[in-house]
Structure formats: structure tokens, C-alpha cells
Amino acid sequence: MRLDETTLPVYAKGAAILGAGGGGSTRPGLLAALETVEEKGPVEVISLDDVPDDELIVPAGLMGSPNVSQEKLGNPEMGAWMRDILERETGKRVCAFMPAEIAGQNALAPVIWGAHTGLPVVDADGMGRAFPEAQMFSMNVAGVSPSPSALIDERGHKVMLRNLDALRHERCARSMVVAFGGSAGNALYVCTGAQARTAVIAGSVTRALRIGQVLADAPADRIRALLDHLGGQVIITGKVSDIERHTSGGFVRGHALIDGVGVDSGRLVRIEIQNENLIVLEEGGVLVSVPDIITLLDTQTGDVIFTETIRYGQRGTLVAFPSPDIWRTPEGLALVAPRAFGYDFDYEPLELLTLSRNGEER
């Protein structure tokens, strides 16, 4: 399987859906990726099974605030810089990149780095969606260390972190990202093929491609087709009546209010944001929360509205899909449940929450 000028736009659409509003708007990343494959040729997508036991997979993406990464021009050399630092530090050969998170711009950056280094991309990722913090990886659940980790910016500033546990790595890498101006390329949780087979979420690239294909094949009612494909639900259809957003500590934080229209007229929901859509509240109650995937779609086009592109007055349909299985385990929930983000309530799966509120499927 290859990512080329035909498949990349499909892949980008699907990865946007999985991003829970995060990972960064796909538009600049897709343009850069298309330009790259035009110049360098398509990027091979390999199966996890194809990675030799002792060679390295490099999970990589952009760390920081997506509203900053949108405005920083990337440098295609970043992938080679990451690879060189990590090969020197580990003494092992890097054989492929992997999207750290299968989400928005972050699904595309590793493709660009793969094209420029001549390395393939593994059909997998470390989140099955996007999360804002660097301890929130399936590789962390599996006991893989986040370091050696490489932080690199577009001007060639390079930092290698070593021997840091997951929370300390998040704290140290985040401060460095802030010092770098709010966004940087990050390669972390580097693992051998043998480790990766029990630590990463397999099939993520093909999952994004399939979602993109569902959207492409169903122009009539794209949102309905998507919900059917992913087992998702509409939370509310409405318009953005308020958006408060600020860049702080290497994140975008804030909230958006959605005023219901049509059948949802009279309802008002609040989306809590930290890079991703974390929580949806209505009348003080929780409608849906992380790790379930909460994505705001343009009601007319079905396109994703990313957290950094929400604007007052947009017509949006807020949808939610079940979380990847790993995040519903006790080990997963310890890292990504609402309490991990400072909220004082437990996670309940989407299926229970919304059904109990509406009494029936919408």
C-alpha cells in the first residue's frame, strides 16, 4: 500500500475525523505532503509484521500547540535529523516512521519525513486518535520508555532527552517546546519491531484511509455514513455561539459553546478543549468525555472543524465515536480518563451516557 497523490487526500480526511478536533488542521500538512510525494515519489505503508525484530520504528509528530504549528513552516529535513540522533543514541537502525497520533496534521508529518528519508510508514499509531500529552501513548501502557526522545524545530535546533519517565518526559519536553516557540517535531517512544508488536495500535493508517473512503463514497449524507461506519452518535446540531481559546504552556486551551438548531433548538452544550475536544457538558451534566472521540463537523460539508479553527457562528454537528479499546482498560483509563485532565468525575462509555440521556438512539 502506498500514500500518493490519490490516497493522501483520502487518508487526511480520515485522520482528521479520528483526531477529536486535534492533531492540527490537515490543510497545510496535506499540501506539503502532496508536494513531497510529487517530488520524492509515494511513501510505502508497511505492516507492523514487516518490521524486523531488532530495527527501530520512530513514532513522530508535532508537539505543542496546533495553532502555532499551523503557522510554522516545516522543514523536510526534520525527519532525517530525528533519525540521525536516535540511531546515534541507540546504535540501532531506524527502519520506519509511524504517526505518533493518527490525527490531522500529525498523521501527515511522518509521511513527509518518510518521503524525505526514503523510509516507509508503519500502519499503526500510538493513540488511535489524538491526546494532548506525551504520557498518553499506548506504548506507555505497554511499558516502553518515552526516551531517547528527539525534539527538533524547523531551524535545526535539536534536543535529545534520555532516561525520563513518561510524566517527567512530558514536563521536560513541553517546557522545551515552549522555549522553541510553542511547537516542535518530536520523536518519542522509539521501539523495536519486537516491542512495537505489543505496544502500538495496529492498522491505524488503513483505518484512516477507510474512513476517508466512506466520506468520499457518500457525498449525500456524509455524516450519517460516517456514524454508521464508526458506530458513532450525534451529540448536538447547532452553531458556535461562543469560543474562548488561548495558547498556554504549549497547549491550546479553552471552550466552545454550541447552541442547538432544528431538533436541538433550545439546547446549549459546552465543549472543553485542551488541544483536543475533551468533554461535552450540558446543563452541568456530562454528555461524553475522553477517551471517546469527540469531533465537531461542518454541518454542510462534513469537514472537521479543528479546535484551533472553531469560529463564532459556524454551523456544526458535534459527533462522538467509541474510544479505541486500549483506552477503556483500567491501565488506559489511568492515563486518559477525565480525572487525568483534572476533571472530578469518572469516565462512562459514550454508549451508556448518551443513550441514558436520550432514551433512544438519535
- Check residue 168 for interaction with a second copy (CB under 8 A): yes
- Check residue 158 for interaction with a second copy (CB under 8 A): yes
Task: Please state the closest distance from residue 147 (CB atom) to a second copy, in A.
Answer: 8
Contact status, residue 100 vs residue 94, Cβ threshold 8 Å: no
Of these, 37, 45, 108, 159, which contacts a second copy (CB under 8 A)?
159
Stretch that binds a second copy, among 83-91, 190-198, 259-267, 290-298 (CB under 8 A): 83-91
Rounded-to-integer distance, Cα 81 and Cα 112, Å: 13
Rounded-to-integer distance, Cα 71 and Cα 182, Å: 11
Given phi > 0 = left and psi -120 to 50 = alpha, else beta, which region is 36?
alpha
Whose Cβ is closer to a second copy: residue 23's or residue 250's? 250
Task: Please state the closest distance from residue 168 (CB atom) to a second copy, in A.
Answer: 6
Give every CB contact of residue 35 below 8 A, 6+ residues apart in sequence.
none
Q: What are the phi and psi torsion angles at 249 (to 5°)? A: 60, 30
Contact status, residue 59 vs residue 125, Cβ threshold 8 Å: yes
- Check residue 157 for interaction with a second copy (CB under 8 A): yes
- Check residue 93 for interaction with a second copy (CB under 8 A): no
Stretch that binds a second copy, among 41-49, 72-80, 84-92, 335-343 (CB under 8 A): 84-92
- Cis bond leading into 148, ω under 30°? yes
- Check residue 75 for interaction with a second copy (CB under 8 A): no
Whose Cβ is closer to a second copy: residue 37's or residue 173's? 173
For residue 225, what is the enclosing H or E element? helix 222-230
Task: Please state the closest distance from residue 356 (CB atom) to a second copy, in A.
Answer: 42
Whose Cβ is closer to a second copy: residue 52's or residue 156's? 156
Burial of 356 from C-beta contacts in 10 A (0-12 / 13-18 / 19+): exposed
Rounded-to-integer distance, Cα 101 and Cα 85, Å: 21
Whose Cβ is closer to a second copy: residue 63's or residue 201's? 63
- Check residue 160 for interaction with a second copy (CB under 8 A): yes
Widest pairwise Cα distance in the chain = 61
Task: Please state the closest distance from residue 64 (CB atom) to a second copy, in A.
Answer: 13
Whose Cβ is closer to a second copy: residue 148's or residue 232's? 148
Q: Total number of residues binding a second copy (CB under 8 A)?
A: 21
Give every CB contact of residue 294 below 8 A, 6+ residues apart in sequence.
20, 21, 235, 271, 276, 277, 278, 279, 280, 288, 318, 319, 320
Binding mask 14-53 for a second copy (x = CB under 8 A): ----------------------------------------
Rounded-to-integer distance, Cα 300 and Cα 316, Å: 8
The CA–CA distances, whole Å, from 68 to 127, 296, 336 equal: 22, 20, 24
- Check residue 327 for interaction with a second copy (CB under 8 A): no
Contact status, residue 14 vs residue 210, Cβ threshold 8 Å: yes
Whose Cβ is closer to a second copy: residue 174's or residue 207's? 174
Binding mask 137-156 for a second copy (x = CB under 8 A): -------------------x
The residue among 47, 28, 200, 52 whose CA lies nearest residue 121 is: 47
Binding mask 169-188 for a second copy (x = CB under 8 A): --xx-xxx-xxx--------
- Check residue 210 for interaction with a second copy (CB under 8 A): no
Task: Please state the closest distance from residue 136 (CB atom) to a second copy, in A.
Answer: 18
Footprint on this chain of a second copy (rule: CB under 8 A): 85, 88-89, 156-164, 168, 171-172, 174-176, 178-180
